[in-house]
Amino acid sequence: MSLLAFFVTQSLNALSQAALLFFLGVGLTLIFGIMRIVNFAHGTLYMLGAFVGYSVARLTGSFWAALLLAPLAVGLVGMLFEFAILRRLYQREASAFLMVTFGLALVLGEIIRLAWGPDALQVEAPQTFAGIVFLLDEPFPTYRLFLAGAGIIVAVTIWQFLDRTRLGLLIRAASQNPEMVSALGTDVNLLRSAVFGIGCGLAGIGGVLAAPLVTASVGMAATMIIDAFVIVIIGGMGSFLGSLIAALLVAFTQVFGEYYLPDLALAFMYLLMLLVLVVRPGGLLGKEA
Amino acid sequence: MLALAPFALPLYAMTLLTEALILGLFAMSLDLMVGYTRLLSFGHAAAFGFGAYASGWLLLHTQISMLCAVPLAALLAGIVAIGVAWVCTYATGVSFSMLTLAFAQLLYAIAFKWTSVTGGSDGLAGIPRRPGPFGFAAFGSRAGFYYLTLIALTAAFAFCRALVHSPFGAVLRGIRENEAKTLALGYNTRLYKIAVVALAYALGGLAGALYAPFAGFANTELVFWLFSGQVLIMVIVGGSGTLIGPILGAAFFLVVEHQLSNYTEAWALFFGLIFIAFVIFAPEGIWGLLTARFGRAGGETR
């Protein structure tokens, strides 16, 4: 394999990995930005997306239906949780949210295990992207290319949504000064429900898209939530661009670390995070220290 | 009453009670950080796991007795914690929590990969309760080990009680209520935070160091983030900001886990629900409910 081909395929690998991480990280960071909540259940919602996606894909026979319906379902679960439980806690300190969402992660994880069983479930990639393509004479799974593309599309969509739409404007405003937004006549509670739902829905998209790659399994939440936290912290809590940069950084560190120093690969990500935090305690693009 | 327990209880209850004491010690150590200083650690399993691996390794690969290995492991955990705390205290609030989590996961990764020392995914097994000289052999038996644990917990409790009532403890509460103000009063709050993290890790390490010879094994689950979450649950459900609360919380956790797992496989489901209910409706925990119930009589004894 030529060096160039190696770097191209590994970089594309990293890009597809970054896309998955970004789906989680951006949801977490949006939620944190507007609600000051660290959502511990985010990994479990991602897992829920994978399992619901599996069921929808089996029932309808279409991966695309799963990609559409599962994130909606996950977003709905998130909004229900926000409405029923988080809303009671807005007067309390940040740790209350961390704990209550940890509780949700436990509960949801068990429900998933009861509903779908403990075994890993294989989800078929859509026909169009199931094969392999040759890049510089090296075989490469088409699905990973599709993932990288999906990541770019979603990133651009969210950016345009935050930048151009009225709801995006309100979200940015409320993350800076919720009292003012409320005083100007916007229902901030409704806004919070919406953002929590959108964030959870993004995790759901990540879950559906990850399923053909890693199968839907009850262990998938645990590894992913930690990675997503790392991304949010490296990027800076509440920063959209930060989460994008951090997802790329972490994915490249993971993929190339795994290749060159497989024994230390697990540690690399944490070392990267420690390094960033020591230099910039608020994260790369974070405001607060 | 606890001292007489071995004469009255059946064997399985003794084992459960010993485990409850060990977890109680673990939860109490975390509360020094969470309840007294408001340093929300999400990686306290690192302390427990480190202590368990350290004492397990010492008992397996050296000839020193249990009574030396356990305190030594706790001491090591405390020393390592100084380095951890030095980095973690660069951050505050949620970032601090995430950093402690990252360190615990780093340790988890090491425990997984450094097979020659930690046994990798198999962990360390067959850890002996090696008795020391001078008739300490009695600690090796089931009842003896229970007493050893009870002594450790009582000593740690007395130590923590003295600590939180000392001027040092007052500064910790100052940091909890208003760190900027405490800093302005001339206290180097970062040093105090590093000290309390080191103490909490040493005591958490002590709990882990006791667990290794108690269970006979140490594995990666003891360092996993789920365990960090569980001990946090014990603290909150029991009552944070008190010393007795977390111990009650640990006992409650074990009993509920034990009882629920008799009836249903999905005990974690109900436990999650119980936990959520406590956070929402009873943030003061079991001990808070008890003291509110019995008013003045119980309120003063915290």
Q: What is the domain partition of chain B in residue ranges? A: 2-224
3-state SS class at A263: coil
Question: What DSSP state is assigned to residue B20?
Answer: H
When CB atoms are compared, the residue of B103, B279, B283 closest to A103 is B279
Beta A132-135 vs B124-125: how paired, if at all? Answer: unpaired
Find the closest chain A residue to B104 by CA distance: A270
Can you say whether the dihedral through the CA atoms of B271, A27, B94, A265 is positive or negative? Answer: positive
Separation CA A219–CA A216 (nearest Å) = 9
Residue A172 lies in a domain: yes
Give bridge partners of residue A210 from the DSSP assignment.
none
Residue A29 lies in a domain: yes
Q: How many CB pairs under 8 A join A and B?
A: 109
**Residue range A14-64, pLDDT digits in tens:** 899 899 999 999 999 888 888 888 888 999 999 999 999 999 988 888 888
Its pTM stands at: 0.83
Residue A133 lies in a domain: yes
Nearest to A107 by CA among B266, B87, B211, B123: B266
Say yes or no for a CB contact (<8 Å) between A107 and B102. Answer: no
In residues, how long is chain A?
289
* C-alpha separations of B7 from B3, B4, B17, B143 in Å: 9, 6, 13, 9
Residue A189 lies in a domain: yes
Separation CA B213–CA B209 (nearest Å) = 7
3-state SS class at A278: helix
Q: Are A281 and B99 spatial neighbours (Cβ–Cβ below 8 Å)?
A: no
ipTM of the complex: 0.77
3-state SS class at B39: coil
Chain B residues near any Cβ of chain A (below 8 Å): 34, 40, 42, 87, 90-95, 97-99, 101-103, 105-106, 109-110, 112-113, 225-226, 229, 232-233, 236, 266, 268-269, 271-273, 275-276, 279-280, 283
Separation CA A93–CA A100 (nearest Å) = 12
List the pLDDT tens digit at each of the 289 positions of chain A. Answer: 688 888 888 888 889 989 999 999 999 988 888 888 888 899 999 999 999 999 998 888 888 888 889 999 999 999 999 888 888 888 777 778 878 888 898 899 889 988 888 888 888 778 777 777 887 777 888 888 888 999 999 999 999 998 899 988 888 888 888 888 888 888 888 888 899 999 999 999 999 998 888 888 877 887 788 888 888 888 888 888 889 999 999 999 888 888 887 777 777 887 888 788 778 877 788 765 4
Say yes or no for a CB contact (<8 Å) between A96 and B283. Answer: yes
Nearest to A189 by CA among A89, A288, A45, A74: A89
Domain that holds residue A69: 19-216
Question: What DSSP state is assigned to residue B117?
Answer: H
**Residue range A264-284, pLDDT digits in tens:** 777 788 788 878 877 887 778
pLDDT along chain B (302 residues), means of 10: 68 83 92 87 90 89 81 89 86 80 85 81 77 62 81 90 88 86 85 90 92 85 86 87 89 85 77 85 83 61 42
Q: Is A283 exposed, middle or buried (0-12, 13-18, 19+ CB in 10 A)?
A: buried
Separation CA B33–CA B39 (nearest Å) = 5
Residues 6+ apart with CB under 8 A from B47: B26, B29, B77, B81, B200, B201, B202, B203, B204, B205, B207, B208
3-state SS class at B42: coil
Q: Are A24 and A206 spatial neighbours (Cβ–Cβ below 8 Å)?
A: yes
Separation CA B252–CA A20 (nearest Å) = 39
Number of domains chain A is built from: 1
Residue B40: its chain A contacts at CB < 8 A?
Answer: 95, 98
